[in-house]
């Protein structure tokens, strides 16, 4: 081990006031793991024993990588319930353009795990959506810029069709349009298209509001987002099955 390797993780000795040091951040995470290992895990040992050799998730959940979005928390799900994939902007590249992690996860969830639902979940105050509106901010992030081209269609949709009076309104509509665009990309995946057509798979487009915890879901029949409030039938984005 070189001297360099022995250095503590914390870079600055005195960070800005109120900012956690790198050492403190790592300690917080490891302490959390130790609490899970010693306290939480023993309480749910039966569940983890069952999960040790198989999974049968209720749904695939595609969300933004944003740290404020926790799919299991907002749906009150347990380990084994959700097959989650997350990335910047809850993007689904169209089939054939990119054999990356998202396309792989979709194919595996549908064909190997047989999930009946795929939920694409956007959210309020999304940094990716803000970057789509202000592409100059991505000057030094060529990879993010290239990735967010998959959201370009939503930006054009907003620019051409909405008379948004301010950025907050544009962000709101763009976030919804991005979810609709990614649902359309999702339908280009053969495994998804085929199972949707025979009524085995249902797709959903949601937008989660960080400040209020409300979720709005896209209703394909009505062409709009409706609140997921338990008082109406659950809106779905799935077209009618044909087989």
> Nearest distance from residue 64's CB to Zn ion, in Å?
3
| Identity of the residue, 86 or 116, whose beta carbon is nearer to Zn ion in the bound complex | 86
Identify whether 66 is a catalytic site residue.
yes
> Nearest distance from residue 125's CB to Zn ion, in Å?
8
Is 66 known to sit in a ligand binding site? Answer: yes
Is 189 known to sit in a ligand binding site? Answer: no
- What DSSP element (H or E) covers 86? strand 82-87
| 83 Cβ contact partners less than 8 Å away, ≥ 6 residues apart | 55, 57, 59, 60, 61, 105, 109, 113, 115
Interaction pattern, residues 120-139, with Zn ion; x per rule: CB under 5 A: ------x-x-----------
Residue of 189, 179, 200 lying closest to 107 (CA atoms): 189
Residue of 178, 188, 180, 202 lying closest to 94 (CA atoms): 188
> Nearest distance from residue 89's CB to Zn ion, in Å?
6
- Catalytic one of 28, 56, 68, 232: 68
| Identity of the residue, 90 or 103, whose beta carbon is nearer to Zn ion in the bound complex | 90
- Residue 119 and residue 116: Cα distance in Å, rounded? 10
Helix axes 152-161, 167-186, angle to 10 degrees: 130
The site that binds Zn ion (CB under 5 A) totals a number of residues, namely 4
| Identity of the residue, 103 or 124, whose beta carbon is nearer to Zn ion in the bound complex | 124
- Residue 106 and residue 192: Cα distance in Å, rounded? 8
| 11 Cβ contact partners less than 8 Å away, ≥ 6 residues apart | 22
| Identity of the residue, 66 or 176, whose beta carbon is nearer to Zn ion in the bound complex | 66
- Segment 49 to 68, residues that bind Zn ion, using CB under 5 A: 64, 66
Task: Point out which residues bind Zn ion (CB under 5 A).
Answer: 64, 66, 126, 128
Query: Residue positions in the annotated binding site for Zn(2+)?
Result: 64, 66, 123, 126
């Amino acid at each position: 081990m070189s001297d360099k390797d022995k250095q503590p993780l914390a870079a600055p000795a005195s960070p800005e006031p109120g900012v956690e040091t790198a050492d403190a951040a790592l300690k917080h995470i490891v302490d959390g793991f130790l609490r899970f290992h010693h306290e939480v895990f023993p309480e749910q040992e039966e569940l983890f024993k069952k999960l040790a050799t198989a999974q049968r998730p209720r749904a695939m959940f595609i969300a933004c990588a944003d740290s404020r979005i926790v799919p299991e928390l907002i749906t009150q799900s347990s380990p084994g319930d959700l097959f989650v994939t997350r990335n910047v902007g809850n993007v689904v590249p169209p089939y054939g353009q990119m054999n990356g992690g998202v396309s792989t996860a979709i194919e595996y969830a549908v064909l190997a795990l047989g999930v009946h639902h795929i939920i694409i979940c956007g959210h309020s105050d999304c940094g990716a959506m803000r970057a789509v509106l202000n592409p100059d901010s991505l000057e030094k992030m060529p990879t993010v810029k290239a990735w967010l081209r998959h959201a370009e269609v939503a930006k054009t949709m907003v620019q051409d069709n909405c008379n948004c009076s301010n950025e907050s309104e544009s962000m709101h509509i763009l976030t919804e349009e991005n979810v609709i665009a990614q649902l359309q990309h999702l339908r280009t995946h053969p495994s998804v298209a085929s199972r949707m057509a025979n009524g085995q798979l249902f797709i959903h487009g949601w937008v989660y509001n960080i400040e209020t915890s409300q979720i709005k879901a896209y209703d394909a029949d009505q062409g709009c987002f409706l609140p997921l409030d338990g008082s109406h039938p659950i809106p779905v984005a799935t077209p009618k099955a044909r087989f």
